[in-house]
Structure 1
Amino acid sequence: MPPPPTLPPPTLRLEDAMPDYDDETKKLMAEADEARKALTEVSNRIVELDSSIRDAESYLNGDFGVDSAWAPLKGKWLELDDSQYTYKLCLFERAVQKEKNGHMETNLGYWREWSGGENDKYKEQKYDKGQGCWNGPERSTRVIVECGEETELVEATEPAKCEYRFVVRSPAACPDPATITDVHEEL
């Protein structure tokens, strides 16, 4: 004997599930929706302001070299193309490598500190804690800073596995002319 036919489950429509509220309840519900929307907007604005405050505090506490010469360059992106990659450096933030034929960026490290020697502290920057290498360390980048007419990334190499070396030239790296004592006069 065949099983008895089954009926499909009833389709529940939203209009059927929600009772028809009176006008005053509908008005209160609309006001509650508006209040929730306003609360969300205010909450989002608070998050934005907190982020701006953290950024400003980080900026104020940052070490931007002698006379804060590097301060205007914080967050400036510098790029250098070679045959296989585009290297990018966001000053005082991070270094990345992007394959020319791909869309993925490899993190080469986050800003850590000025790492030049005792007398040349502002001649080198350190970026570390980048993406881990396959069976290797986390990537890191050493940025050598040189005096130049324009702020530009002029060299990017990988002298050791997952250890990168960038060279940046910038007027911010040039000595203050008032401090130069090795001046000679032409006859």
Structure 2
Amino acid sequence: MRFQVLVAAVFWSGFVDSRKVRGISSSYKRFYKERKSFLCIDGSKIIPFEQVNDDYCDCEDGSDEPGTSACPRGRFYCTNLGFRPHYIPSSRVNDGICDCCDASDEYNSPAHCQNTCWNLGQKERAYVEGQMRTLDEGLRLKQQLIEEGVLLWREKQAQLRELQQVAEDLQIKLEEHRRRKHEAERLKEQTLKALEAGDSGLRHQNRTVTSIFQLLDSDKDGSITVDEVKAKVVLVHDEERLLSEDEALGLLGGGHQIDLTKFRRTLWDVLTRGDSVKIKDTPGSDDPHLEAADKAAEWEATNLKKVEEAYETVNMEISDLRKKLAIDYGTDWEFLFLNSQCYKLQVYEYIYTLCPFNQVTQKNTAGTEVSLGTWGMWAGTPKNQYSQMVYENGEPCWQGGSRTTTVTLTCGTETALRSVKEPSKCQYIMDFQTPVACQPVLKQRGVHSEL
């Protein structure tokens, strides 16, 4: 008899202990120590300790029934040793469905649950380890991209300085060519006035000698050769006949080429007399002086246009480079490598293209391209503002407003556009994976320390 009483006492003691501890996390066990009374955790009521887990709800917060489904606001704690612990609503306790992987929520039901915590924990540990490997590799690649970004930033700064120097040099040339063009046009006007006044141009020989020299100097090397004389000078009484080598040499004073100074003393004197040779006539001009002045003015206008075009091109390059350098590429310029790059992804019949810091587009099978937004701003969280991009002011949507795209950057070992969704009309969401989105962490959350 005494043995039976002892067994019953041990059994009852174990029943009371399991009944009172079940459904409680280790941090709350101090509230459920064996004593005469129990204080509801919210402090609303004191009840006899025997009423804890008696399948009747006495406390408003449900704290007296952690292991039963009696309280509508109650919570049951799944210990889930080997996996992640968590709470479930107490209404799910003993409902025939296993909610805890350790099957602790179905301690008094006909359900036959297996403990799957260890297998689930293994899978999660493998997943976390894979994520950590990806993070480590991503951070390594990110460091490389940071180093490349710093070098690229310095190169672009140096390129900007070089372009600015070129622009300054072109500005000086531009002013000089404008002056020379103005002088050539003034000389042309003076020559024309002299001709209109019946002047043969000899009174202005000091003003026109340079123009005639430039007319004969076809290759603009600062000298007149025998070939250039034969090409431009003809006999007054026989314009059809080409000058011979000896005749051309004679006009040049016996030399094969002459500069402007020697030209004044030789060929220029012969041309101004006008009785033996003259400059070959060109359509619309009967006077060599006017022709030379016209050619000089045309030459200076052409040169000026070339310098103006070069100056405009350089200034456009400077403006474009300044715009690029004004963009926020991250604290270490780690996102700079994305500039001038584009990434594509096909989703059903559409091809989406993301060009970071530029635009987002959508193209259908017919080849029609639609703008989904142009670069707007970084829009991440205060802790990581570089986790999200916004592209705004795309093409108008049929119901009003313009298309916009939000790009979320995620950590990965390669840079690629991973997914595109349209959760609401004309509002697009993209997942963009890149190593520069990887952030150092102390520990990856997931598997509980009890493991």
> Number of aligned pairs?
162
Aligned 8 A contact 2:410 2:437 in 1: yes
Of 136, 140, 147, the residue aligned with 2:400 is 136
Query: CA offsets per residue over residues 45-83 of structure 1, 9 Å max, x none?
Result: 222222222233223322112311101211211111122
Pick closer, same or farther for the CA change 1:24–1:155 going to 2, 3 Å: farther
Query: CA offsets per residue over residues 90-120 of structure 1, 9 Å max, x none?
Result: 1101111112222x32111111110012112
Task: Indicate yes or no: 2:442 matched with 1:181.
Answer: yes
1:144: Cα distance to partner? 0.8
Query: Structure 2 CA distance, aligned partners of 1:141 and 1:37?
Result: 48
Query: Structure 2 CA distance, aligned partners of 1:149 and 1:180?
Result: 16
Task: Indicate yes or no: 2:360 matched with 1:95.
Answer: yes
Query: Structure 2 CA distance, aligned partners of 1:158 and 1:27?
Result: 70
RMSD (Å), alpha carbons? 2.0
Aligned 8 A contact 2:285 2:291 in 1: no
What is the percent sequence identity of the aligned residues? Answer: 30
Of 341, 344, 359, the residue aligned with 1:79 is 344
Residues 4-153 of structure 1: matches in 2 within 5 Å? 19-102=284-367, 104-153=368-417
Q: TM-score, normalised by structure 2?
A: 0.34
1:180: Cα distance to partner? 3.5
Query: Structure 2 CA distance, aligned partners of 1:21 and 1:170?
Result: 73
- Greater shift, 159-168 or 44-53, is seen at 44-53
SS of equivalent residue, structure 1 residue 166: strand
Give the equivalent residue in structure 2 for 1:10.
none
Aligned 8 A contact 1:142 1:164 in 2: yes
Aligned 8 A contact 1:136 1:162 in 2: no
Give the equivalent residue in structure 1 for 2:140.
none
Of 168, 172, 178, the residue aligned with 2:436 is 172
Aligned 8 A contact 2:393 2:404 in 1: yes
SS of equivalent residue, structure 2 residue 321: helix
1:142: Cα distance to partner? 0.5
Aligned 8 A contact 1:158 1:164 in 2: yes
Which ranges in structure 2 are unaligned for 5 or more consecutive residues?
Answer: 1-282, 445-451
Query: Structure 2 CA distance, aligned partners of 1:99 and 1:137?
Result: 21
1:168: Cα distance to partner? 0.7
Aligned 8 A contact 2:393 2:402 in 1: yes
Which ranges in structure 1 are unaligned for 5 or more consecutive residues?
Answer: 1-17
Pick closer, same or farther for the CA change 1:66–1:42 going to 2, 3 Å: same
Q: TM-score, normalised by structure 1?
A: 0.77
Query: Structure 1 CA distance, aligned partners of 2:396 and 2:423?
Result: 17
Pick closer, same or farther for the CA change 1:53–1:136 going to 2, 3 Å: same
The one-letter amino acid of 1:94's match is Q
- Greater shift, 159-168 or 31-40, is seen at 31-40
Aligned 8 A contact 1:146 1:170 in 2: yes
Query: Structure 2 CA distance, aligned partners of 1:39 and 1:158?
Result: 54
- Greater shift, 65-74 or 54-63, is seen at 54-63
